[in-house]
Amino acid sequence: MNDWAAPLIASALFAFLCPGLVVQMPGKNRPIDFLSMQTNMAAVFVHAVLFGLLLILFFVVLNVHIYI
């Protein structure tokens, strides 16, 4: 059996947390922009930190496993 939790969760978080794709924190004109399709270095840093914290939450704290 293979544990598919890591690639599935990481891919979903990567797609959702791409700055400017769905949400951008901080935005260019507002604290949060939706569907702006633009980015800046501050947003890249914030999204990278959130990505890392959510991965730690799922894999270390919650110990999530998906076996197919």
22 located within any domain: yes
Is 46 domain-assigned? no
Please check whether residue 55 lies inside any domain of the structure. Answer: no
> Is 68 a member of any domain?
no
Would 58 be classed as within a structural domain? Answer: no
67 lies in some domain: no
SS3 labels along 32-58: CEECCCCCCHHHHHHHHHHHHHHHHHH
Q: What is the pTM of this model?
A: 0.72
> Residue 1: its pLDDT value, please?
64
Domain count for the chain, please give it. 1
Q: What is the pLDDT of residue 66?
A: 80
Cβ pair 24, 33 in contact under 8 A: yes
Taking only the tens place, the pLDDT of each residue in 9-67 is 998 888 888 887 887 788 777 788 777 787 878 888 888 888 889 888 888 888 888 88
Q: What residues make up the domain containing 23?
A: 1-29
Per-residue confidence (pLDDT) for residue 65, from 0 to 100: 82
Q: Is 61 a member of any domain?
A: no
Per-residue pLDDT for 68 more than 80? no
